[in-house]
Structure 1
Amino acid sequence: MKRRVKQYACQIKTGGYERRYVLKDFSKMLDNQIEKIVLFMLEQQGILGGRIAKLGERQDMLQTELDLPRIASLQEAYRVIGRDLLKLLYFVEINAIGIRKILKKFDKRLGYRFTNYYVKTRTNHPYSQLQQVFKHVDPVIDSIKAAVDRLSHSTSFLTYLGQHALIIHEELPMPNEELVDDQRYHFMSLLLNLVNTFLYMVNTYIIVPTADDYSMSLGAAPTVCGIVIGAMAVAQIFSSVYFSAWSNRSYFKPLIFSSIVLFVGNIMYALAYDFNSITVLLLGRLFCGLGSARAVNRRYISDCVPLNIRMQVSAGFVSASALGMACGPAIAGILQVDFKVYMITINQNTLPGWVMAVAWVFYLIWLSVSFKEPGHLSQENYVPEYNTSLVESDTLENGVTQPLLVSSQAHQDDVDEDQECDMSEGPSEDSHAPISSIGAAYKLLTPSVKILLFIYFMLKYATEILLAESSVITSYYFHWTTSQVSIFLVCLGLTVIPVNMIVGSNISNMFEDRQILLASEIMICLGIAASFHFIEPYTVTQYVVSGLVTFVSAEVLEGVSLSLLSRVMSSRLSRGTFNGGLLSTEAGTIARVIADATITLGGSMEPAVKRKRVSPHVQPSCALTDATCSPPFGL
């Protein structure tokens, strides 16, 4: 029909066709095409109806029997019918879009306003087939959308947890996408990415219980631990971007580079004690942050893991992060030693650096032996993969660029014709390509996305202050040892999976997301308010309960906000360098940097704080009972 429209245009210019003939011929041709669509649709409906009727008979026979294999077979048969129904709806919808596009092309090329006339006359005519097409599109799509909305309020735990990774999933990918993923997927490579995620989180939190002691042993205030902990996050702000860009060309090389940089950073962190240099300590943490390959880990899942397991792997990514967050302080709690090897000091402050350096060496060896680089397209050669949503017909109309069933030569002819006759029609390839700059990514952020990113920023700010300052607060008020601080942090970290399990399987099914969002924000505020030293004495119970309420509420808020983000972010942020996961990582990392700086800034406003766990390098500035010693900056 596109070729016929071109012929009409050429003939009208030369005076070969009359207006009346063109309208009549085009109308008849379009009526015939629509009739073909409807007849095929009715035929397929009859076939599906017969299959459903037979399955209904099988189901009636199984009502009184408990034959698990036959029940499983019946369930799978229903799923197959469901997939075939989706294909039929996809066929009808894409043809409805084709009808709108050819009418639009006709009006544009010939200068007529034929679309409104054709749609009005055919929609209201009792014998028109056009009504059959559109009545099967909009109502059915609306009902499917409603069903999806209901299902979204019956979220499984794995789905809810997987959304924390903010790996945006296409609703209905093109048929060849899963095949491509299968060809690029390698289980051991995926496992190495998850291990990298776990080790990095261990590396991040293993120093939290001892960072204040380490700072004091080098002649700094205990609240300098904020800078020590936050230095890693500062470097991660930049490393996330270049690692994400690097993963456009390779996964193996950035992981190798990450492991080497993390090894060097941990060595520097451990040697800072013997160098008696806070500068070496901070440089070591900066190097560790420069080795953050979480962007690579996330990109590997998004680009190389098959669709049928991508959500489960995303949940594994989040679980590995949570497990690393809990294991870091736990490992620090058992590293209670103090001896020297030649001129190198091994104690609770330096041993976390040595342990992580050894861990990254073993990981580097494993990576070199077992990782398989997938067939990876560079960003320059990347061909956008168009996804289609049954609930967004307008998006489809602007985005679908290929007909359903045409030969490759016919398709090429259509493409050439489009380029020759109508260069302005439809979106360019760039409108579907991955984002290539932070500015372009920012333009795609709607107000709702910006609000959710700000919420994510604030909850990360609150949790970072809680975690990073825990050793300072507990040592001053309660004289906790490193092991006790570690136990407290481990208990907080271990709440991540159970809390998400409860929210994902129960709470999110009973309440709307906005209700959970508001309730968790209120609980965070209450937890923060309860943490302040308003009454005497400041008890362990008050601190632990307030910290637990703050942390758990922040976890709930994080799950809900990221779940919403994954649904409202543009699909163009699902792939490429500046993807949705990178944006959320940057928001959270900046929040951690500001939170750690807040701790140090607050500590600089107070006199030196005396601690129970004083390093032999530094003498106490005041006694534990000295009333002139001021408490450190509170939560």
Structure 2
Amino acid sequence: MVGFGKQLRTLKNPKWEPYYINYKMMKQTLKSYLQNQGVNEEEKAIIRRQFTKLLDWQIEKIVLFLLEQQGHLAARLTALGEQREIVMNSRDSSQISACVDYYQAVGRDLLKLLEFVELNAMGIEKILKKFDKRAAYKLTDYYVASRSNHPYSQLQQVFRHVGIGAMIGAISRSLGELKDETKSLYDEPAGFHVEDPIIHSIKAAQSRLTNSTSFVKFMAKAVQFDKEDELPRAADDVVGEQYHLISLLLNLGNTFLYMVNTYIIVPSADKYAYSLGAAPTLCGVIIGSMAVAQLGSSIYFSAWSNKSYFRPLIFSSIVLFVGNVLYALAYDLDSIAILLVGRLFCGLGSARAVNRRYISDWVPIKNRLQASAGFVSASALGMAVGPALAGLFEINKRVLGVTLNANTLPGWVMAAAWLVYLVILWMGFKEPINDDTGNNGPPTFASTANWHPQNHAITQALLEEGTDSNSISHEDPVIDDDEDSEKSKAPASSLIEAYKLLTMPVKVQLFIYFMLKYAMEILLSESSVVTAYYFNWSTQAVALFLALLGLTVLPVNFLVGSYISNMFEDRQILFTAEVLTCLGTAVCFVGPIPYTAAQYISGALIMFVSAEVLEGVNLSLLSKVMSARLARGTYNNGLLSTEAGTLARVVADGTITLAGYLGTGFLVNTTLIPTLLFGILSLIATFYSYNFLF
């Protein structure tokens, strides 16, 4: 295994040797500090000050050299700009060709500078991670928070590459005009790039450096799978051999059907409750009972997925089939108890933990982002299809002694869907087998004997370091013998232990996730009762309204993932989305003036879309601040976020049912008061943890 120190020596420009981060010296210093570290806070503070001062000097050296080189390149571009005007006026093809060559030469030097910045950025990130792993306390959060937002920040120069974008624009515009004087770069679409090899290379290097978030990457954050820079999967060739596209599609099919199953009853749940002699507001309990059962099922499915994927998916399908049959039969049996038991069964069949883990464990790295984006897309599509289907159920017949109407058809249709899915799953799913053990289950993590990464890519440096602490380069006498203990690497063994691993930024993000799920559940679950009471909407009208809300998920995520997240920091988007969620909640309140459908729809739209934006950004930040120990095992980060969201749904549906005792006329304000309160509390928590969200 080649560590980052050797990667640095291999990839750096020899002429710039003195200006790179002295990674070897920093490792030696860190080792000496930690050998002598004390246990009291004063000694820890001294080590922190000494190490951060040393790192500050290294960054200052890097930044001053970077600015010097930028100045040289800017001067060359200025001189070339004057020559370009002369050459273009002369229209001499040989002179134009020579000018293009000069610009390409500057571009190649700029590319070298980008690689210089990229390698140093990796070194800074890596040495901070080493400190966090080996010390009894963390440094990264403090260091980044105190340096990145300071008005004289030098860290920003490294990670934001200030000024380089302007030079890229100057080279691109000049090459474009030299090659075609009729075109201007600023008249082309935003994503236009000049067709020149050096420009493509520069843009690729800049993209790696900025780590800009594409739509697929943004969507993928919702899956919350392993942090690959901390826990690289073993032998991706083994995963590749076991990869089965049909199994992946069946796994995503389970996700889609479950979301359809969740939302297909929302437009009719109040009327179903009323037909069985209960209050319409009991719809909160009917919808929420599924979430109550999911609180427990998420844990046992997460544990089951450590050993198998096929068996829990089969079990999930059978339980959901039974649950939907019971839900449908409750009408003819005139039993609200059977209806609730049916929904509890549906919650017990929630296999979303398995869906996430299958993507994490048995989809190759090259396909994992697309697969995880597919997971989010399947969920979003199910959210829209469920209510849309409910709007089609207008018949009222008895077939073989069973009633088929708008109340029962959601159960019968979903029962049939799960039965068909069960048959296809049985025939088409391929249980992956780990060749090393011969047992079903995820691949084990790499050992020094069988881990063979590709060494040609600069981006592998962060993946490789720390995976093999025993390999020693002959060029570097420093031995990395201070690797984490097995205990420090082990995943959490219980929810209590997982909770103890949560830092304050993680707790804030989990609370925000709770808040947004609570707001969305209040909006969706009470929609049929509210719209029927105030606007006399039919089941079909409610279904159409909910389906249209669900259809906003993908375009909103596309807009945020492809554009907004590239212009603003995640924490800025997070805070703005929280404010808008609170605003949408406030708009939905019933006031002294007549309550109109336009007011309700506009408030609901602002509230739902803002919560959707908030969810994507929240999960993105959560994946960054979550402990590496929570990246795998039964009690992983995906389970924690799922439990937080499910608990929010349970509390929200309980709130609706309790508020119903005050009367339908008080339902909206009674449920929106805690929603707004949670929103305000999340804003306060975000404000106080803002500097630690990166």
**What TM-score, normalized by structure 2, do the two folds share?**
0.65
* Alignment-derived partner of residue 575 in structure 1: 632
Counterparts of 1:380 and 1:316 in 2: how far apart (Å)?
Answer: 22
Aligned residues of 1:188 and 1:371 also touching (Cα < 8 A): yes
- C-alpha contact (below 8 Å) 1:303/1:575 kept by paired residues: no
Question: Partner residue of 1:353?
Answer: 411
392-401 or 262-271, which deviates more: 392-401
The equivalent residue for 1:603 is 660
Once the two structures are overlaid, the 10-residue window that deviates more, 476-485 or 433-442, is 433-442
- Checking the alignment, whether the CA contact within 8 Å between 1:434 and 1:572 is kept in structure 2 is yes
Partner of 1:486: 543
Deviation at 1:560, TM superposition (A): 1.1
Q: Does 1:402 align with 2:470?
A: yes
Look up the SS of the partner of 2:417 in the other structure.
Answer: helix
1:540-593 per-residue CA deviation (whole Å, 9 max, x = no partner) reads 100100000000111111111111011111222222111111110000000000
CA distance in 1: counterparts of 2:226 and 2:360, whole angstroms: 8
Secondary structure of the 1:340 match is: strand
Alignment of 1:43-54 (within 5 A): none
2:123 equivalent in structure 1: 141
Identity across the alignment (%): 54
Comparing 571-580 and 480-489, the one that deviates more: 571-580
1:175-254 paired onto structure 2 within 5 Å: 176-254=234-312
Given that residues 230 and 463 in structure 2 are in contact (C-alpha distance below 8 angstroms), is that contact kept between their aligned partners in structure 1? Answer: no
Measure, in 1, the Cα distance between the counterparts of 2:649 and 2:563: 30
Contact kept in structure 2, 1:234 and 1:593, CA below 8 Å: yes
The change in CA–CA distance for 1:427 and 1:365 in structure 2 (over 3 A counts) is: same
- 2:522 aligns to what? 465
Deviations 1:50-103 (A, max 9, x none): xxxxxxxxxxxxxxxxxxxxxxxxxxxxxxxxxxxxxxx99x96x778867997
Q: Distance in 2 between matches of 1:361 and 1:435?
A: 36
Classify the secondary structure of the residue corresponding to 2:241.
helix
Residue 491 (structure 2) pairs with residue 509 (structure 1): no
Query: Residue in 1 aligned with 2:680?
Result: none
8 Å CA contact 1:153, 1:509 repeated in 2: no
Identify the match of residue 586 of structure 2 among 529, 554, 558: 529
Q: Distance in 1 between matches of 2:15 and 2:324?
A: 62
> Shift of residue 482 of structure 1?
0.5
2:106 matched residue in structure 1: none
The superposition leaves residues 317-353 of structure 1 with CA deviations (integer Å, 9 ceiling, x where unpaired) of 0000000000000000001110001321110000010
Q: Which amino acid aligns with 2:225?
A: I
Change (3 A) 1:459 1:379: farther
CA distance in 2, matches of 1:43, 1:381: 34
1:325 correspondence with 2:383: yes
Which position in structure 2 is the counterpart of 1:64? none
Q: Is the 2:319–2:345 contact (alpha carbons within 8 Å) kept by the matching residues of 1? A: yes
Match of 2:192 in 1: none
Which of the numbers 307, 317, 332 marks the counterpart of 2:365?
307
**Which residue number in structure 1 is paired with residue 428 of structure 2?**
370
Q: 1:193 to 1:397 in 2, by over 3 A?
A: closer
Instruction: Confirm or deny: 8 A CA contact 1:266 1:354 kept in the other structure.
Output: yes
Contact 2:228 2:463 in 1 (8 A): no
Cα gap change, 1:631/1:155 in structure 2, threshold over 3 Å: closer, same or farther?
A: closer
Contact 2:232 2:463 in 1 (8 A): no
Partners of 1:570 and 1:631 lie apart in 2 by: 40
Q: TM-score, normalised by structure 1?
A: 0.71
2:623 corresponding residue in structure 1: 566
- Mean Cα displacement is larger for which, 340-349 or 96-105? 96-105
Q: 1:351 to 1:404 in 2, by over 3 A?
A: farther
Residue 266 (1) aligns with residue 324 (2)? yes
SS of the residue aligned with 2:398?
strand
The alpha-carbon distance between structure 1 residues 395 and 153, as it changes in their structure 2 partners (threshold 3 A), is closer
SS in 2 for 1:334: coil
TM-fit CA distance, 1:431: 2.1
Deviates more, 1:166-175 or 1:579-588: 166-175
The structural deviation recorded for 1:528 is: 0.8
Q: Deviations over 1:507-530 (max 9, x none)?
A: 112222222112111111111111
- In structure 2, relative to structure 1, the CA distance for the partners of 1:105 and 1:481 (3 Å cut) is closer
1:382, distance to aligned residue in structure 2 (A): 7.5
> Would you say 1:256 and 2:324 are equivalent positions?
no
C-alpha distance in 2 between matches for 1:583 and 1:300: 17
| Residues 96, 250 of structure 1: alpha-carbon distance in 2 compared, 3 angstrom cutoff | farther
Larger mean Cα displacement after TM superposition, 272-281 or 389-398: 389-398
Q: Tell me, in whole angstroms, the C-alpha distance in 1 between the residues paired with 2:308 and 2:366.
A: 24
Amino acid at match of 2:238: V
Distance in 2 between the 1:170 and 1:492 partners?
34
Structure 2 CA distance for aligned equivalents of residues 217 and 371 of structure 1:
41
Distance 2:662 2:118 in 1: 68
- The total of aligned residue pairs comes to 501
**Separation (CA, whole Å) in 1 of partners of 2:11 and 2:550:** 53
Distance of aligned partners of 1:390 and 1:444 in 2 relative to their CA distance in 1, 3 Å threshold: farther
Question: After superposition, what is the alpha-carbon deviation per residue over 1:446-505, rounded to whole angstroms, capped at 9, x for unaligned?
Answer: 100100000010010001000000000000011101100000000100000111111111
In structure 1, distance between residues paired with 2:639 and 2:659: 30
Tell me the distance in 2 between the aligned counterparts of 1:140 and 1:592.
41
**What one-letter code is carried by the residue in structure 2 that aligns with 1:141?**
G
- Structure 1 CA distance for aligned equivalents of residues 500 and 463 of structure 2: 18
Contact in 2 for aligned 1:170/1:571 (Cα 8 Å) = no
Unaligned ranges ≥5, structure 2:
38-49, 59-116, 125-156, 162-205, 673-694
CA distance in structure 2 between the partners assigned to 1:475 and 1:106 by the alignment: 70
2:606 to 522, 537, 549: 549
CA deviations 1:389-426 (Å, max 9, x no partner) are: 999999998774331579xxxxxxxx9xx9xxx9xx54
Q: 2:504 aligns with which of 444, 447, 456?
A: 447
Q: Deviations over 1:335-372 (max 9, x none)?
A: 11100013211100000100000000010000100111
Q: Which position in structure 1 is the counterpart of 2:356?
A: 298
> Structure 1: which 5+ residue stretches go unaligned?
1-36, 50-88, 109-115, 125-134, 407-414, 610-628
Q: Is the 8 A contact 1:532 1:634 kept in 2?
A: no
